[in-house]
Chain A
């Protein structure tokens, strides 16, 4: 027996059956949390942003037509939520030119060396991600999630499928060169 699809559930939410949003939340909360976290938000902010996405889904439920996939609609909303959040915080604080909230300590710090040793490439990769331009970072984080096809990515970022593949390719290439630069430094 197959479960109702995400699109069918969201159409039910649109018709006023708001309970069904709970099912969509259970199915996608981890994916969304990972999206915000890997974009560089801390866990607490990422949780708030997940909540904001679902609040928006309720607010704009009538805009869901069911033509595209629910995943693409959800991630488009998530991108807007992330953009709005950083726009707001940008007004509040002096922006350092990098929205990736990773704690970058003095490289001479012993603790940092231990941390890097322990976490290995993961910590270095996060630092490399922090240096990527926002648009490229988003494209990479979106492709990280299994089940997200290039056609869906194209729908989210508003381009053709071919262009989406080219963008991911170039973002990966840039990530690699930043990663190597950091490794040498």
Chain B
């Protein structure tokens, strides 16, 4: 066995990439050649120490930076594709494109009727969609923690795209509703939460958020929402809010009307 063949075989043996026959032959070769046996033992020791080289975990800042970059790119891409669509649409007025489009539609129709193996693709898409949802939830949580109000708004926007939000996202949205410094973000959070009013956690959270609101627009929005939901549990927090000295007179009037409508 020449040097290069030994080098290749030793690596195959180390990485477990040999067939049983080759493995036996190589082991026999090592047994009969003490010099190569020693060389292999040294190689194995070096390989094992490489494999045990430890690596620290990356920080959460890396995730934040990535998801912020990705959400910006996604947004840019959406704007660009809507512009492209408009330009393509204008191009369709040319007769040759119209003919091409007609043929394409015909082809797609034909393909649809002839297609029979769509099930595998569908199930794979379902898995990918679930994974996408999980990543989107992570993206929402990351964006809601950002110092920029614009990014937090983006986070709420991303939450609206999720079909089934989990408890963690709902709690993050409720936290935003209760404590975000920017009123636009808080308004967006209420709007987003209205998508999940069937969830008792959301209804309870919305009711509990009433006394925390100081902005008149938020107070009126919540009052309108509670009337729409006919949420009787909101009456008590609204009554508490009415006791506030500094409450805007228009808001006061609105809340009184709302309480009457709910009762």
In the complex, what residues of A have CB within 8 A of residue B56's CB?
37, 43
Indicate if A99 sits at the interface (CB-CB under 8 A). no
* Contact in complex: B49, A47 (CB < 8 Å): no
* Contact in complex: B127, A144 (CB < 8 Å): no
Give Cα distance in the complex from A37 to B47, angstroms.
18
Q: Closest approach, in angstroms, between the C-beta of B173 and any C-beta of chain A?
A: 20
In the complex, what residues of A have CB within 8 A of residue B135's CB?
19, 22-23, 26
Give Cα distance in the complex from A57 to B109, angstroms.
35
Spot the interface stretch: A63-71, A84-92, A108-116, A161-169: A161-169
Give Cα distance in the complex from A143 to B48, angstroms.
12
In the complex, what residues of B have CB within 8 A of residue A122's CB?
52-54
CB within 8 Å of B: which of A2-41? 2-4, 8-9, 12, 16, 18-23, 25-26, 29-30, 33-34, 37-38
* Contact in complex: B43, A172 (CB < 8 Å): yes
* Contact in complex: B43, A173 (CB < 8 Å): yes
A150: contacting residue among B15, B81, B125, CB under 8 A: B15
Given A175-B50, A179-B46, decide whether A54 and B7 contact each other with a Cβ distance below 8 A: no
Spot the interface stretch: B60-68, B180-188, B197-205: B60-68
Indicate if A78 sits at the interface (CB-CB under 8 A). no
In the complex, what residues of A have CB within 8 A of residue B65's CB?
47, 51
Contact string, A46-60, partner B, CB cutoff 8 A, digits 1/0?
110011001100100
Give Cα distance in the complex from A30 to B49, angstroms.
20
* Contact in complex: B58, A43 (CB < 8 Å): yes
Indicate if A130 sits at the interface (CB-CB under 8 A). no
Contact string, B115-152, partner A, CB cutoff 8 A, digits 1/0?
00000000111011001100110110000000000000
Contact string, B33-63, partner A, CB cutoff 8 A, digits 1/0?
0000000001101110111111111110111
* Contact in complex: B139, A22 (CB < 8 Å): yes
Q: Closest approach, in angstroms, between the C-beta of B158 and any C-beta of chain A?
A: 10
Given A47-B62, A168-B11, A170-B7, decide whether A16 and B81 contact each other with a Cβ distance below 8 A: yes
Chain A: which residue is nearest B49 at the CB level?
A125
* Contact in complex: A172, B55 (CB < 8 Å): no
Indicate if A140 sits at the interface (CB-CB under 8 A). yes
In the complex, what residues of A have CB within 8 A of residue B12's CB?
165
In the complex, what residues of B have CB within 8 A of residue A162's CB?
8
Q: Closest approach, in angstroms, between the C-beta of A54 and any C-beta of chain B?
A: 6
Give Cα distance in the complex from A168 to B44, angstroms.
12
In the complex, what residues of B have CB within 8 A of residue A179's CB?
46, 49
Indicate if B74 sits at the interface (CB-CB under 8 A). yes
A173: contacting residue among B4, B42, B54, B58, CB under 8 A: B42
* Contact in complex: B55, A33 (CB < 8 Å): yes
Indicate if B73 sits at the interface (CB-CB under 8 A). yes
Give Cα distance in the complex from A16 to B81, angstroms.
9
B69: contacting residue among A51, A121, A172, CB under 8 A: A51
Indicate if B70 sits at the interface (CB-CB under 8 A). yes
Q: Closest approach, in angstroms, between the C-beta of A144 and any C-beta of chain B?
A: 6
Chain A: which residue is nearest B15 at the CB level?
A150
* Contact in complex: B69, A169 (CB < 8 Å): no
Q: Apart from A2-B127, A30-B58, A150-B11, list 12 A-B contacts with CB within 8 A.
A: A18-B73, A22-B132, A22-B139, A25-B66, A33-B55, A37-B56, A122-B52, A122-B53, A126-B53, A150-B17, A169-B8, A176-B42
Interface pairs (23), CB distance under 8 Å: A4-B131, A12-B128, A18-B70, A22-B70, A23-B128, A23-B135, A25-B66, A29-B66, A30-B57, A33-B58, A33-B62, A47-B61, A50-B66, A51-B62, A122-B54, A125-B50, A143-B50, A149-B17, A150-B11, A166-B11, A172-B43, A176-B43, A179-B46
Counting from the closest, the 4 A-B pairs by CB-CB distance are A22-B135, A165-B11, A169-B7, A176-B46
